Amino acid sequence: MAHRIPTPSVPAPDIVRCAYMEIVVTDLARSRAFYVDVLGLHVTAEDDEAIYLRSLEEFIHHNLVLRKGPVAAVAAFAYRVRSPEEVDAAEAYYRELGCRTERRREGFTKGVGDSVRVQDPLGFPYEFFYDVEHVERLTQRYDLYSAGELVRLDHFNQVTPDVPRGRAYLEDLGFRVSEDIQDSDGVTYAVWMHRKQTVHDTALTGGNGPRMHHVAFATHEKHNIIQICDKMGALRISDRIERGPGRHGVSNAFYLYILDPDDHRIEIYCQDYYTGDPDNPTITWDVHDNQRRDWWGNAVVPSWYTEASLVLDLDGKPQPVTERDERSEMAVTVGADGFSYTRNDDGSPEGFKLGTQL
């Protein structure tokens, strides 16, 4: 296991929230059909190279950038900071960490100004910005409101081999832990961390990384998520519904995972809970609790554990992926070798739903 990432002597930047993700897609028209025609995200701007999309209640320029490129991957996980000065703070912070940084006063994407991008110690391309173009917030544009409307960007989810190492790094960066999954030997399988007052702005999922597990958008109500499934059925792309819908144990949110045309995973998510108090109780789930990932005990499909998107370095080249050394959550919980329980008083493995797992 790699050594701990040192805590810089300079203050961490004051991060407000996860703000947008930039992803590389291999066929812009095909991706537009998915994100705009199927999911109904709103186009702020577009050209031959990129499409800038936002959710209904967003007032900054975009929550998602689709950029045309040869290899499907993630170009940036972008966070908004509290003031222009905090971009300087971010740059200084990562320089002290010895990370490669790149500052662009005019921004990396349309509609966003002064920004710094870094290759962070876990290998992820992080961006920090404050300056951004305000656009029409469509909150009350119910004339545009689709039956499966996405109203906010909710969070990122990152795959990394060593979760405790990543967790300590993000805690230094000011993130606070809301929930995690562990086993009785102290192995951590995943952790949820937030800046805004929800369960997470990002989460770390243990696995081969750095990779992007998913980016999540919120709906208002559960039926909005069901409509997305129904619509994908009507379009005969139900095979792009990977997992769900269901109720998460962790976060308590109602969820759905779908795959875009490049296999980037999108979560649709609603109704987690308020975490804004300084002593918000942290919840630790037992990895063997069969309701941790799905409160109803429905199966997690293996691809959900194994597949994820590559991430790019600042030159636009895919980062190499390091294998996880520790036990995988899938191995310890799924199938003949795994162990899960439904009722933790007896811990009996009969909790499995017969035949729903490999």
User: For the window 77-116, what string marks contact with a second copy as x by the rule CB under 8 A?
Assistant: ---x-xx---------------------------------
What's the angle, vertex CA 114, arms to CA 119 and CA 112, rounded to 5? 95
CA atoms within 13 A on the CB side of 331: 8
User: For the window 236-255, what string marks contact with a second copy as x by the rule CB under 8 A?
Assistant: xxxx-xx--x-x-x--x-x-
Among 42, 67, 167, 231, binds a second copy (CB under 8 A): 231
Core vs surface per residue 24-52: b (16+ CB within 10 A) or e: bbeebeebbebbbebbbbbebbeeeebbb
Least distance from a second copy to the Cβ atom of residue 11, Å: 17
Size of the site for a second copy (CB under 8 A): 78
Least distance from a second copy to the Cβ atom of residue 263, Å: 11
Core vs surface per residue 199-232: b (16+ CB within 10 A) or e: bbbbbbbbbebbbbbbbbbbbbebebbbbbbebb
Site for a second copy in 284-303 (CB under 8 A): 290-291, 295-299, 301-303
Can residue 4 be called a binding residue for a second copy (CB under 8 A)? Answer: no
**Nearer of residues 179 and 326 to a second copy, judged by Cβ:** 179
Can residue 141 be called a binding residue for a second copy (CB under 8 A)? Answer: yes
Can residue 147 be called a binding residue for a second copy (CB under 8 A)? Answer: yes
Can residue 226 be called a binding residue for a second copy (CB under 8 A)? Answer: yes
User: For the window 179-218, what string marks contact with a second copy as x by the rule CB under 8 A?
Assistant: -----------------xx---------------------
Least distance from a second copy to the Cβ atom of residue 193, Å: 16
**Nearer of residues 106 and 221 to a second copy, judged by Cβ:** 221
Least distance from a second copy to the Cβ atom of residue 239, Å: 4
**Nearer of residues 123 and 351 to a second copy, judged by Cβ:** 351
Task: List Cα–Cα distances, 1 to 65, 173, 235, 322, in angstroms.
Answer: 34, 21, 46, 12
**Nearest CA to 222 among 176, 150, 156, 271?**
271
Cβ-Cβ contacts under 8 Å for 75 (sequence gap 6 or more):
22, 23, 24, 65, 67, 125, 311, 312, 316
Site for a second copy in 6-65 (CB under 8 A): 16-17, 57, 59-60
Can residue 171 be called a binding residue for a second copy (CB under 8 A)? Answer: no
Residue 111 φ/ψ region, left for φ over 0, alpha for ψ in the -120 to 50 degree band, beta for the rest: left
Cα separation, 304 vs 324, in Å, equals 16
